[in-house]
């Protein structure tokens, strides 16, 4: 986790996201790169603005917002003693990507060159464009995505919970998270009895694998009860004071999750701790 990509947006959760990024970079000695996440002008809006003065006004406002995002990002890093990257500089440090193209697809494309993509989590009221940017990171980058909550915890990745459901997606998330698991003081592998699972190895086998990797993990089990699986997972993480959840994303298809719900969607919308996801 030595290179972190942070798509910047003018949203209230950005401060929490940057706090999570700084906390993680300090633990891992990472380079942080920010860029402005821009969604572009929809064609029907562009046609309305193509009358000269309106388009010039829109572009000037857009340029001003980009400058504000960059200035805010750089000021935040310097305030938290993260210096600009320079030849021969140590880490953690930060940089800014100039001239990032518009469109949420860029998150997934450019994110392939980083160890981790860090974004604000979605919620039930999030704009569709923000959700699509998260999905671009999850489905197109081939990299893990860390979703930050509304309020950043004091620490990140010291007390980690893995939600084990037997799936390929969860195994992949575990593999990506190994550098953080090795740094953690406490690691637990959660099984939700009666929750959404697929055929696969037991949590005990995962604990054994982690111990062979010198990670002192323990298996825990909770009953689903009258809760959704995602709710049971977050309750367990909260009870144990976890500051990072490792979660495979979309074991069920996105369409099924949209229609019937699912643990991934619930956790993306309600998590009160950072969540590392991978598909």
Q: Are residues 20 and 117 in the same domain?
A: yes
Torsion of CA 128, 132, 135, 137, to 10 degrees: -140
Number of folded domains in the chain? 2
Q: Are residues 142 and 76 in the same domain?
A: yes
CA distance 193 to 11: 37
Read off the CATH number of the domain in which 250 is found: 3.40.50.620
Mean pLDDT computed over every residue of the chain: 88
Q: Are residues 140 and 178 in the same domain?
A: no
Residues 134-148 have pLDDT tens digits of 999 999 999 999 999
Residues 170-192 have pLDDT tens digits of 999 999 999 999 999 999 999 99
What is the DSSP track for 225-257? TTS-HHHHHHHHHHHTT-SEEEEE--SS-HHHH
CB 26 within 8 A of CB 92: yes
CA distance 90 to 87: 9
> What is the rounded average pLDDT of the residues 248-268?
69
Q: Are residues 30 and 64 in the same domain?
A: yes
- Taking only Cα atoms into account, the Rg of the chain, rounded to an integer number of angstroms, comes to 20
- Domain hosting 131: range is 3-148
**Last residue within a domain, chosen from 123, 148, 173:** 148
CA distance 103 to 203: 39
Q: Are residues 50 and 142 in the same domain?
A: yes
Classify residue 154: in a domain, yes or no: no
SS3 113: helix
CB 170 within 8 A of CB 205: no
pTM: 0.88
Classify residue 127: in a domain, yes or no: yes
Q: Are residues 7 and 116 in the same domain?
A: yes
- Single out the residue of 133, 163, 188 nearest to residue 249, CA to CA: 163
- Single out the residue of 192, 135, 137 nearest to residue 167, CA to CA: 192
């Amino acid at each position: 986790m030595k290179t972190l990509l942070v798509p910047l947006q003018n949203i209230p959760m950005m401060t929490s996201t940057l706090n999570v990024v700084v906390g993680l970079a300090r633990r891992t000695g990472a380079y942080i790169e920010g860029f402005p996440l821009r969604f572009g002008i929809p064609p029907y809006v562009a046609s309305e603005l193509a009358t000269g003065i309106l388009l010039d006004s829109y572009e000037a406002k857009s340029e001003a917002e980009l400058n504000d995002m960059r200035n805010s990002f750089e000021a935040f890093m310097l305030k938290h003693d993260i210096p600009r990257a320079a030849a021969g500089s140590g880490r953690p440090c930060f940089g800014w990507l100039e001239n990032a193209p518009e469109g949420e697809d860029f998150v997934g494309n450019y994110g392939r060159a980083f160890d981790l993509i860090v974004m604000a989590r979605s919620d039930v009221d999030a704009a569709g464009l923000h959700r699509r940017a998260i999905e671009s990171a999850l489905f197109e980058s081939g990299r893990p995505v860390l979703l930050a909550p509304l309020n950043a915890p004091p620490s990140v990745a010291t007390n980690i919970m893995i939600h084990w459901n037997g799936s390929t997606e969860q195994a992949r998330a575990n593999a990506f998270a190994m550098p953080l698991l090795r740094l953690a003081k406490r690691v637990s592998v959660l099984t939700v009895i009666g929750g959404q699972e697929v055929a696969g190895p037991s949590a005990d086998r995962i604990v054994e694998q982690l111990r062979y990797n010198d990670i002192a993990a323990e298996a825990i089990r909770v009953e689903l009860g009258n809760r959704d699986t995602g709710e049971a997972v977050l309750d367990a993480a909260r009870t144990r004071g976890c500051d990072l959840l490792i979660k495979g994303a979309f074991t069920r298809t996105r369409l099924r999750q949209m229609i019937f719900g699912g643990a991934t969607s619930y956790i993306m919308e309600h998590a009160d701790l950072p969540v590392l996801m991978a598909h």
